[in-house]
Amino acid sequence: MAIKGKYQISRRNFIKVSAATTAGVSLMTMGACNVEKVPPPMKRKFGKHDFMVTTLGLGGQASIQWTPEDVDPVPIILKSFELGVNYYDTSNLYGPSQLNFNKAFKQLNLIPGEAGYNEELRESIWLTSKTAMRWGKPGWTEREGVSNWSNGQEVKCAVDDVKRSLTQIFGDNQGNYPEGAYLDMVLIHTLHNTQEIDVLYEGLETPLDPEGNFGALVALRDLRDGTNLTGMNPKNEKLIRHIGFSGHNNPPAMIDMIQRDEWGILEGMLIAINANDRLMFNMQHNVIPVAEAKGLGIIGMKTFADAAMYHKDPTWSNKPEHVYRKVGDPSLPSRPLIEYSLTTPGVHTLIIGIGQIDEDPMKCQLVQNYYACQIEPDGLTADEREKIEQLAAGVKEGKTNYFQMAKVGLVPPRLLEKKLLEGKNLLTWQTAYAGDEPILKYEVVADGQKIGEVPHKPQLFLKEPFSIEIPENAKNLLVAAVDAAGNRAEAALV
């Protein structure tokens, strides 16, 4: 859907507009979130995909899920299309969210098979849903540390969730969906631990037995490729185009999820990232660089810590009262929080839930978030990002990110091994985890003397550890991770 007008606005004016918002000053005369003079949306290449994604994506929670009595969620979706937003997020766990998208999509002629179906518009957007199912086939006993979440719905595996999304968004909500309906991406949602990853990779890392047990990834691959290796896709349907995962709290597990993918299955990642990220076991120096190096499309979320930056306690939202319906706060404007997330290296788009739109554009969350998202990847300096971190750290004593693991600092290299490979004596290790600053290098020491160093880079596969050739008689070996601030964390070969 084309944006009306060609009015351009400078970054300086964006800042002025947003600053005026916090002071309650209306500088524009748009009515009902009018988009006549709004500039075209900024876009970024979405990882390795041939798709330019808008920096603002519409989140499927907030009023689209927990709808207050005086809010109609459908106009929020329609207005996002008018603005030119092209990334849309929803989930099987989000109550009526997918059904609200259905109502909007009917008005936008996005239902395949119906009169006036706008295929060009459908191809211009990226629609993502999610499953919290870890199994690709129903009927298997749960394992310790592994749970299938269905939000009380009658779904039993990831394949069921995909079809439920399609019937809710494009179909009759009775199990039927039209030919030609598809999801651009399905995310394995809210990854928690390695036990879950072990299940997800069954049938890939282990022999695939269609009569036995297998994880969600191999089943979703069938729905992506139109194959039926699992027996779960007998009609050889192509219902999804891409597969990814999301995570809020566990960087080591998320890195493990990426590194174990030797089949190129994962193509996207939704990740929590905000200005209090470095107060926790951070995402920006750990998971995001690995995902970026592997070409995943990276979507940021929780820029306001699920409204914990503002009016609610730092815990999961679950009712309409938890939906924040203002544009920032005078003590904590929303714009710098948004800009922080979008200038975190590797992030392509940022999904934001909308509490309400308003006739006054200065009170309209959608319009103001749209303006705040018009920023280049390098649009903030390191000093500006640090000032935003300081501002956010003053909220609730910095304890807003209840969904992230506690901070542990620089973690040393792991799983040191001595190997003889092709006549060479090698010392190998798995990646260290970063603390406050990114890791720069690894120093290798034998008998108290440095014998070499290896630059740090994102480790893409478990089977491709860091390595260095060492003398045959080298003893008392250790490897130290060194970060940009000069901090060291050592691990010795046992």
- Tens of pLDDT, residue by residue over 299-329, are 999 999 999 999 999 999 999 999 999 999 9
pLDDT tens, position by position, 87-107: 999 999 999 999 999 999 999
Cβ pair 233, 227 in contact under 8 A: yes
Question: What is the predicted pLDDT for the residue at 19?
Answer: 43
Decide: 74 and 102 in contact? Cβ < 8 Å: no
- Residue 30: predicted pLDDT: 35
Q: How confident is the model at residue 22 (pLDDT cuts 50, 70, 90)?
A: very low
450: buried, middle or exposed (CB in 10 Å: 19+, 13-18, 0-12)? exposed
Q: What is the pLDDT of residue 155?
A: 65
Boundaries of every domain in the chain: 11-398, 414-492
| Residue 111: pLDDT over 70 | yes
Instruction: Please check the confidence at residue 15 and state whether its pLDDT lies above 70.
Output: no
At residue 28 the predicted structure's pLDDT band, cuts being 50, 70 and 90, is: very low
Residue 220 has pLDDT above 50, yes or no: yes
pLDDT of residue 145: 73
This prediction's pTM:
0.92
Burial class of 147 by CB neighbour count within 10 A (0 to 12, 13 to 18, 19+):
middle
Helix, strand, coil shares, percent, the chain, to 5: 25, 20, 55
Tell me which residue of 329, 334, 336 sits closest to 368, measured CA to CA. 334
Residue 23 has pLDDT above 60, yes or no: no
Average pLDDT of span 417-443 = 95
Is residue 25 scored above 60 in pLDDT? Answer: no
pLDDT on residue 34: 60
Residue 32 clears pLDDT 50, i.e. is over it: no
Q: Which CATH homologous superfamily contains domain 11-398?
A: NADP-dependent oxidoreductase domain (3.20.20.100)
Greater pLDDT, 217 or 33:
217
pLDDT of residue 133: 93
Question: Tokens 């550890």 map to which residue?
Answer: 465
Residues whose CB is less than 8 angstroms from the CB of residue 158 and which lie 6 or more positions away in sequence, other chains included: 131, 133, 134, 135, 136, 186, 188, 216, 219, 220
- Cβ proximity of 220 and 158 under 8 Å: yes
- Residue 290 has a pLDDT of 98
Q: Do 413 and 479 contact (CB within 8 A), yes or no?
A: yes
CB contact at 8 A, 389 and 275: yes
111 or 472, greater pLDDT: 111
What are the start-end ranges of the E strands in 353-438? 414-421, 424-430
Task: Say yes or no to pLDDT of 70 above 60.
Answer: yes
pLDDT at 256 over 50: yes
**346-399, pLDDT tens digit by residue?**
999 999 999 999 999 999 999 999 999 999 999 999 999 999 999 999 999 999
Residue 139's pLDDT is: 73
DSSP, residue by residue, 39-89: PPPPEEE-TTSS-EEESEEE-SSGGGTS--TT--HHHHHHHHHHHT--EEE
Cα 494 to Cα 491: distance, rounded to the nearest angstrom: 9
Identify the pLDDT of residue 156: 83
Same fold for the domain at 11-398 and the one at 414-492?
A: no
Supply the angle between the helices 365-372 and 73-83 in degrees, to the nearest 10.
30
- What pLDDT, on a 0 to 100 scale, did the predictor assign at position 152? 63
User: Regarding the domain with residue range 414-492, which homologous superfamily does it belong to in the CATH classification?
Assistant: Immunoglobulins (2.60.40.10)
Task: Quote the percentage of the chain above a pLDDT of 70.
Answer: 90
Q: Are 110 and 122 in contact (CB under 8 A)?
A: yes
Residue type, 346: G
pLDDT value of residue 153:
65
User: Does the pLDDT value for residue 13 go beyond 90?
Assistant: no
